[in-house]
Amino acid sequence: MILVVMDHDGNELRKGALEGVSRARKLAEALGGEVAGLVVGFGAEGVAEKAKDYVSKVYVVSGPDWETYTAEKWAKAAHAAAEAAGARVVVAPASRTGRSWTARLAVKMDAALLEDTLDSWAEGEKVYATKYSFLNRVLEKQAGSLPAVISVKPNTTPLAEPAGAGTVEPLAVELGELEKKVEVLEKIVETGGKVSLTEAEVVVTGGRGMGSAEAFQMIEEFADLLGGAVGATRAVIDAGWRPYAEQVGQTGKTVQPNVYFALAVSGAVQHQAGMNKSKVVVAVNKDPDAPIFKETDYGVVGDVHQVLPAMIEEVKKLKGA
Amino acid sequence: MKYVAIIRQVPDGESKIKVDGGRVNLEGATLILDQMDEYAVEQIIRLKEAHGGEAVVVAFGPERTEEAMRTALAMGANRGVLVTAEGYVDPVTQAGALAKVLAEEAPDAVFTGGQQADWDSQALGAAVAEALGWPSVTWTTAFELEDGHAKATHDLDEGAEVVRVALPAVFTTQQGLNEPRYPTLPGIMKAKKKEIKKIDAAELGVSGSKVEILEQTIMELERKGKIIDGTKEPAAAAAELIKLLHEEAKVL
């Protein structure tokens, strides 16, 4: 049995959940058994009704103790579900939260952890995966023994199609002392209602050359037009123009969208580490020697304050056509 | 009070790395204290300065890791403990060995970088915490002590969260938490005399790795490099760019 932990926003399954199901099905074909799912937390009962179209059984962990996320709780729930399902492999999204609890789960299960994987497969009693390392500069092939915990890098895997109706089974998990040690005092949602940076297929990042916090309104407008997410460079975060959650780079988030716009971004190595696996990279910069142009598919040498408004108009025309 | 930073020595991001026989070869690369761990080291020094006690640096890695540890000692940490092992050992296995060192040290708070610049892994801090039965907070941007607890702000996928955590606990660090100081010349001189205790990983029960690296290859994506001059007619350049993205790249 393979267990897939299915991320959701309280109403809908996230893309990461459906990427996880695809991976879990592939592993189940090689290792035998079926795919079970787990939904945890706020709104889990409702989401389970949607999740059961994808897996043979959905375990639901919910209730007042599970309204807020902590890594300790999610690891405990996943461990309980893995034991209930007799799962030898647990698949989860490699979101920031996913990567914080899967490490704990691997310790609980005494399992091999294959983290942030691009692909994964099984042969015999081993699981294999590919991932990036060395700031995204190296492609690495890894092998792990069973049991294993595998996290799936966002935007790497086809989304699963529904495959019949599974059953829903509530799972009672008691909080122990450890899980009570973290109390969430306040949640600050900075990208509420919009696509998350790590899952977005379009990312529009502004650099220091944008010149001001106000200039990011243009970036937001452009990102909204394309259904994308806004990113920012370290210099922009340091200047206090944008929140930390939007930082792309070595000390921020790693993104791998279909198309990445680097606007007024010079392209330091630390920034490249966060975006260099984007499928198509577009840059606008007034400095023709900016390092970002070496990493660019399509670039414009010019002033972003003149080029970006024109890009917005062109996209509006395109969408209107 | 005692505070620990878990650090790693990694290649500088700007340093050339090469692959020989399917493995990354770091010979010739500049090796540094992981930039994400610098925030952890700065944090334990600040806590020691504010509340007294001891700032200890702990690491798992090859003998050469001592160099990165000396950097942390030059910044102001008191002493170091290095668990030595050559070759690749996965973060979860490393965490098991480090947890034994930490159980003995019994610190009030542990800090380590949010992601390692060699493995691109985010597992170490959370795995150490789990092995100790301690809570963990990832991607911490603000930290303060409050009577046996810590109040911390940390990043999630879609924003941030403020949590109150019972100590001892493990925090993974990132930019924003503090501004790491540079080692001073007197600091560097003093660091040479500071104690680094070395323990062989085998003595802590490490007999291999649960994850094996089979092959590594340098990935350089070929980029098209089509550059349009938009200095004279920005609107025309924008139109051409959007047309290329729509018709040629088919991403819009």
What domains can you pick out in chain A, each with its CATH number?
A: 2-180 (3.40.50.620), 202-319 (3.40.50.1220)
Name the phi and psi angles at A16, rounded to 5.
-60, -35
Q: Chain B residue closest to A286 (CA)?
A: B231
The verdict on B75 and B196 lying in the same domain is: yes
**Range list of β-strands (E), A22-111:** 35-40, 57-61, 89-93
Are residues A106 and B211, on separate chains, in Cβ contact within 8 Å? no
Task: Give the gap in angstroms from C-alpha A56 to the nearest C-alpha of chain B.
Answer: 29
Sign of torsion over alpha carbons A140, B218, B139, B198:
positive
Q: What is the rounded CA–CA span in Å between residue A24 and residue A4?
A: 6
Enclosing domain of residue B227: 222-251
Q: What is the rounded CA–CA span in Å between residue B22 and residue A154?
A: 26
The verdict on B237 and B180 lying in the same domain is: no
DSSP designation for B202: G
Q: Chain A residue closest to B138 (CA)?
A: A100
Are residues B127 and A106, on separate chains, in Cβ contact within 8 Å? yes
A105: pLDDT strictly greater than 60? yes
Determine the average pLDDT of the residues in A290-312. Answer: 96
Amino acid identity of residue A175, one-letter, is: L
The verdict on B151 and B29 lying in the same domain is: yes
Are residues B126 and A244, on separate chains, in Cβ contact within 8 Å? no
Q: What is the rounded CA–CA span in Å between residue B64 and residue B87?
A: 12
Q: Does residue B217 lie within any of the structural domains?
A: no
Upstream peptide bond of A147 is cis (omega within 30 degrees of 0)? yes
A120: pLDDT strictly greater than 90? yes
Q: What is the rounded CA–CA span in Å between residue B103 and residue A274?
A: 35
For residue B122, give the nearest of A251, A50, A44, A229 by alpha carbon.
Answer: A251
For residue B158, give the nearest of A229, A202, A262, A222 by alpha carbon.
Answer: A229
Are residues B227 and A142, on separate chains, in Cβ contact within 8 Å? no
Contact between B174 and A250 (Cβ < 8 Å): no
Q: Give residue B222's pLDDT band: very low, low, confident or very high (50, 70, 90).
A: confident
Q: Does residue B211 lie within any of the structural domains?
A: no
Q: How crowded is residue B246: how many other Cβ atoms within 10 Å of its Cβ?
A: 15
The verdict on B239 and B165 lying in the same domain is: no
Residues making up the annotated binding site of A for FAD are 208, 233-234, 247-251, 285
Cα of A89 vs its chain's centroid, Å: 20
Task: Give the gap in angstroms from C-alpha B33 to the nearest C-alpha of chain A.
Answer: 14
The verdict on B32 and B120 lying in the same domain is: yes
Are residues B226 and A190, on separate chains, in Cβ contact within 8 Å? no
The verdict on B129 and B232 lying in the same domain is: no
Task: Give the gap in angstroms from C-alpha B245 to the nearest C-alpha of chain A.
Answer: 8
Q: Give residue A193's pLDDT band: very low, low, confident or very high (50, 70, 90).
A: low
The verdict on B238 and B124 lying in the same domain is: no
The verdict on B227 and B122 lying in the same domain is: no
Are residues B234 and A286, on separate chains, in Cβ contact within 8 Å? no
DSSP designation for A13: B
Q: Give residue B34's pLDDT band: very low, low, confident or very high (50, 70, 90).
A: very high
Q: Chain B residue closest to A258 (CA)?
A: B251
Q: What is the dihedral of CA A80, A82, A85, A88, to 10 degrees?
A: -150
- Residue B166's DSSP bridge partners are B149
- Among A121, A135, A175, A263, the strongest candidate for a mutation testing the B interface, having the largest count of B CBs within 10 A, is A135
Contact between A220 and A308 (Cβ < 8 Å): no
Placement of tokens 């878990």 in the chain? B6
Task: Give the gap in angstroms from C-alpha B216 to the nearest C-alpha of chain A.
Answer: 4
Reported ipTM exceeds the 0.90 cut:
yes
The verdict on B229 and B118 lying in the same domain is: no
| pLDDT single digits (tens) A249-298 | 988 899 999 999 999 999 998 999 999 999 999 999 999 999 999 999 99
Determine the average pLDDT of the residues in A8-18. Answer: 95
Task: Give the gap in angstroms from C-alpha A145 to the nearest C-alpha of chain B.
Answer: 6
Contact between A88 and A102 (Cβ < 8 Å): no
For residue A205, give the nearest of A244, A238, A247 by alpha carbon.
Answer: A247
- Residue A123's DSSP bridge partners are A126
DSSP designation for B153: E
A192: pLDDT strictly greater than 90? no
A190: pLDDT strictly greater than 80? no
The verdict on B53 and B155 lying in the same domain is: yes
| pLDDT single digits (tens) A223-250 | 999 999 999 999 999 999 998 889 999 8
Are residues A299 and B227, on separate chains, in Cβ contact within 8 Å? yes
The verdict on B28 and B98 lying in the same domain is: yes
Q: Select the residue of A134, A186, A281 nearest B162 (Cβ to Cβ).
A: A186
The verdict on B243 and B124 lying in the same domain is: no
Residue predicted with more confidence, A148 or A246: A148
pLDDT confidence of residue A170: 98
For residue B125, give the nearest of A151, A100, A102 by alpha carbon.
Answer: A100
B contacts of A314 (beta carbons < 8 Å): 238-239, 241-243
pLDDT confidence of residue A321: 64
Are residues B120 and A134, on separate chains, in Cβ contact within 8 Å? yes
Angle between helices B234-243 and A304-320 (to 10 degrees): 50
**Percentage of residues of chain B with pLDDT beyond 70:** 100
Determine the average pLDDT of the residues in A204-226. Answer: 96
Q: Does residue B92 lie within any of the structural domains?
A: yes
Q: What is the rounded CA–CA span in Å between residue A5 and residue A59?
A: 9
A168: pLDDT strictly greater than 70? yes
- Among B42, B120, B154, B248, the strongest candidate for a mutation testing the A interface, having the largest count of A CBs within 10 A, is B120
| pLDDT single digits (tens) B56-107 | 999 999 999 999 999 999 999 999 999 999 999 999 999 999 999 999 999 9
Q: Select the residue of B117, B234, B243 nearest A302 (Cβ to Cβ).
A: B234
Q: Does residue B214 lie within any of the structural domains?
A: no
Q: Select the residue of A135, A178, A307 nearest B237 (Cβ to Cβ).
A: A307
pLDDT confidence of residue A191: 59
Sign of torsion over alpha carbons B172, B16, A273, A266:
positive
Q: Select the residue of A182, A284, A310 nearest B239 (Cβ to Cβ).
A: A310
For chain B, what is the domain count? 2
Q: Does residue B52 lie within any of the structural domains?
A: yes
What CATH number should be reported for the domain holding residue B36? 3.40.50.620
Are residues B13 and A273, on separate chains, in Cβ contact within 8 Å? yes
Contact between A52 and A163 (Cβ < 8 Å): no
Determine the average pLDDT of the residues in B13-40. Answer: 93
Are residues B17 and A134, on separate chains, in Cβ contact within 8 Å? yes
The residues near A235 (Cβ < 8 Å, ≥ 6 apart) are: A207, A208
B149: pLDDT strictly greater than 60? yes
Residues A157-185 as b or e (16 or more Cβ within 10 Å = b): beebeeeeebebeebebeeeebbebbeee
Q: Does residue B16 lie within any of the structural domains?
A: yes
Q: Is A248 helix (H, G, I), strand (E, B) or coil?
A: strand
DSSP designation for B174: -
Q: Does residue B169 lie within any of the structural domains?
A: yes
Q: What is the rounded CA–CA span in Å between residue B120 and residue A207?
A: 24
Q: Does residue B91 lie within any of the structural domains?
A: yes
Q: What is the dihedral of CA A154, B39, B131, A176, to 10 degrees?
A: -80
